[in-house]
């Protein structure tokens, strides 16, 4: 019997002369024997009732092993003394009762298969690449070879049969669950199923080697990591701190606590249902009221810390930073109290003056709110008006000249008030300017007799006469509106009398004025 391809069946063929004459040139033929293995190839003579032995060999093929048996039949022929060929006679299997039947050799069928499973964890720790080394360790062809692995959801049928001794490697990728990472290992087995040529099923459970069924265990390193990013925003006199707690490791974290000495927090618990999963974040906020020292400094700087528990019980920690990768203290600028500086201004008597009081003020780390200008004291010799654009208009009392002042303060965008600043003013008279020429021709240029500075005086009288001394124009409280209407071109004489407010005496000014209508430059 044979158990594998290449094994040899050795045949002994007994040739007997069952006739009554001697035969010669006796030849045994065996189509199933290996070429040249039938020996002797020729029996010279064989007397009646005499026998001779012939040997032959057959090398088994895999298909014959798969078939489970090999049948073979030889034949013999010889020549009679008169040269007649005695017809070919078929061989008979002496182990059966049948006559002239072929000799059948039963072949042992040992179907067997192994599966060895190895695993490689990816660099990022998120996937496992499994390799399944499947080998036919039996002596028959394995067909319908199928790998199953319930954990990774694998059912894979090989595209072709697997010959004895042959092997094939299949791979599959498994994505780790959070439970796998938390457990810090993955253990599982696969199964290979196959069918022998006779229909017999056979299988194997994966192992770490061909001779065991040990589950394949992949260790998953625990990377318990946490980060704390702290940001701040300022409103009024309070800072709102936002704590962003993020799991930057690969395992779930629980028992999360934050501490911040400046805010008076000590291991304050942050509740996260089911634990904080990798990549997930949770937010917490806390309020902080500014102290005077904070305002004086103009900024607040501090750090917090966070701690949590990994599945192994290890405590992971981080100090807050401005981003996941740093521990930079969180610094927020807070507005100092703004500063108002004194202002000065000069104007003419009876002339309003617009003062940009905020122009030289220091808003600190904020901006000044022009709508919050507050008059602390009013001028003694005039009035003030706060304008929408943040300027203040000062109007001296009619005819007043001399010094005056008022005080103000303003708030910044956060509601902090400046100190009280003083605006010092001075109203002055300036020399009246009477023109010696005007050109009332309707071109919009120099069309009226305009006396500059006239509005500084409480009263005035204007008289115009021609060269013969005849009055051609007269006005009390002249408004700079005489156009010389109805008069010829020429030179006229003016007499101007003005009186300051609070005075009983007139000042007199006189001179010549030329009226030209067709004026050319």
What is the mean pLDDT of the segment spanning 411-439? 88
With vertex at residue 121, the alpha carbon angle to CA 116 and CA 123, rounded to the nearest 5 degrees, is: 155
- Fold designation for 437-515: Immunoglobulin-like (2.60.40)
CB atoms within 10 A of CB 189: 16
Q: Which residues 6+ apart lie within 8 Å of 69 measured at CB? A: 104, 105, 106, 107
Higher pLDDT: 22 or 91? It is 22
Domain ranges of the chain: 8-106, 113-219, 226-333, 343-428, 437-515
Measure the CA–CA gap between 171 and 186, rounded to whole angstroms: 17
For the residues 367-387, what does the mean pLDDT come to? 96
Question: Do the domains spanning 8-106 and 437-515 agree at the CATH topology level?
Answer: yes
Specify the pLDDT at position 481: 95
Query: Which pLDDT does position 83 carry in this prediction?
Result: 87
pTM for the model stands at 0.56
Rounded Cα gap, residues 229 and 330, in angstroms: 9
Per residue in 267-323, pLDDT (tens digit) is 999 999 989 999 999 999 999 988 767 877 889 999 999 999 999 999 999 999 999
Q: Give the pLDDT confidence score for residue 281 in this predicted structure.
A: 95
DSSP category for residue 247 = E
Assess contact for 212 and 239: CB atoms under 8 A: no
pLDDT range class, residue 520, cuts 50, 70, 90: low
Q: Which CATH number fits domain 343-428: 3.40.50.170, 2.40.420.20, 3.30.429.10, 2.60.40.10?
A: 2.60.40.10
| Residue 317, number of CB atoms within 10 A of its CB | 14
- What pLDDT, on the 0 to 100 scale, is given for residue 352? 93
Query: Comparing 454 with 396, which gets the higher pLDDT?
Result: 396
Look at residue 138 and tell me whether its pLDDT is greater than 60. yes
Tally of CB atoms within 10 A around 70: 21
Q: 3-state class of 182 per DSSP?
A: helix
Distance CA 326, CA 322 (A): 7
Q: What is the mean pLDDT of the chain?
A: 92
Q: Which CATH class is domain 8-106?
A: mainly beta
Report the CATH number of the 113-219 domain: 2.60.40.10
pLDDT for 467 equals: 92
Note the pLDDT of residue 435.
94
Q: State residue 471's pLDDT score.
A: 96
* Contact of 441 with 519, CB cutoff 8 Å: yes
Q: What average pLDDT does the segment 500-514 reach?
A: 89
| CA distances in angstroms from 307 to 219, 229, 253, 301, 447, listed in the order given | 25, 13, 9, 21, 87
Least confident of 321-325, 427-431, 468-472: 427-431
Digit-coded pLDDT (tens) for 113-133: 999 999 999 998 999 999 999
Distance of alpha carbon 224 from alpha carbon 160, whole angstroms: 46
For position 327, what pLDDT does the model report? 95
Fold of 226-333: Immunoglobulin-like (2.60.40)
Residue 1: its pLDDT value, please?
A: 55
């Amino acid at each position: 019997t044979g158990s594998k391809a290449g094994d040899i069946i050795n045949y002994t063929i007994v040739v007997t002369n069952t006739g009554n004459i001697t035969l010669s040139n006796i030849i045994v033929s065996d189509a199933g024997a290996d070429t040249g293995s039938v020996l002797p190839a020729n029996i010279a003579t064989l007397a009646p009732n005499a026998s001779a032995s012939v040997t032959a060999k057959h090398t088994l093929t895999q298909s014959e092993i798969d078939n489970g048996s090999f049948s073979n039949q030889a034949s013999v022929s010889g020549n009679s003394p008169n040269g007649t060929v005695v017809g070919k006679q078929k061989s008979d299997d002496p182990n059966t009762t049948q006559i002239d039947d072929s000799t059948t050799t039963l072949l042992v069928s040992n179907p067997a298969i192994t599966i060895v499973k190895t695993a490689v964890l990816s660099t990022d720790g998120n996937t496992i690449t499994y390799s399944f080394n499947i080998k036919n360790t039996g002596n028959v062809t394995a067909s319908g070879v199928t790998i199953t692995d319930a954990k990774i959801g694998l059912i894979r049928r090989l595209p072709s049969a697997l010959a004895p001794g042959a092997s094939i490697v299949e791979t599959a990728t498994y994505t780790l669950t959070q439970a796998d990472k938390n457990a810090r290992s993955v253990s599982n087995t696969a199964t290979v199923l196959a069918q022998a040529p006779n229909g017999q099923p056979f299988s194997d459970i994966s192992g770490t080697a061909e001779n065991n069924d040990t589950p394949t265990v992949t260790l998953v390193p625990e990377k318990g990591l946490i980060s704390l990013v702290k940001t701040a925003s300022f409103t009024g006199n309070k800072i709102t701190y936002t704590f962003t707690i993020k799991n930057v490791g690969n395992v779930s974290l629980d028992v999360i606590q934050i501490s911040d000495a400046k805010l008076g927090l000590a291991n304050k618990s942050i509740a996260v249902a089911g634990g904080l999963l990798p990549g997930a974040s949770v937010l917490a906020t806390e309020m902080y009221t500014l102290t005077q020292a904070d305002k004086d400094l103009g900024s607040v700087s501090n750090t917090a810390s966070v701690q949590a528990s990994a599945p192994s019980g290890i405590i992971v920690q981080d100090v807050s930073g401005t981003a996941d990768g740093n521990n930079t203290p969180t610094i927020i600028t807070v507005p100092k109290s703004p500063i108002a500086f004194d202002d000065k201004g000069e104007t003419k008597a009876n002339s309003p003056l617009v003062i940009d009081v905020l122009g030289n003020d220091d808003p600190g780390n904020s901006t000044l709110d022009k709508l919050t200008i507050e008059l602390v004291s009013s001028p003694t010799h005039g009035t003030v008006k706060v304008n929408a654009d943040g300027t203040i208009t000062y109007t001296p009392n009619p005819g007043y000249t001399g010094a005056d002042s008022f005080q103000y303060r303003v708030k910044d965008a956060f509601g902090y008030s400046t100190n009280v600043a003083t605006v010092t003013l001075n109203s002055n008279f300036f020399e009246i300017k009477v023109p010696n020429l005007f050109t009332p021709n309707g071109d919009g240029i120099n069309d009226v007799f305009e006396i500059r500075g006239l509005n500084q005086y409480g009263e005035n009288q204007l008289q115009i006469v021609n060269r013969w001394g005849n009055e051609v124009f007269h006005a009390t409280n002249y408004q700079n509106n005489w156009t010389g209407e109805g008069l010829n071109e020429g030179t006229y004489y003016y007499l101007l009398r003005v009186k300051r407010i609070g005075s009983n005496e007139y000042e007199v000014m006189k001179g010549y004025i030329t009226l030209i209508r067709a004026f050319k430059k």
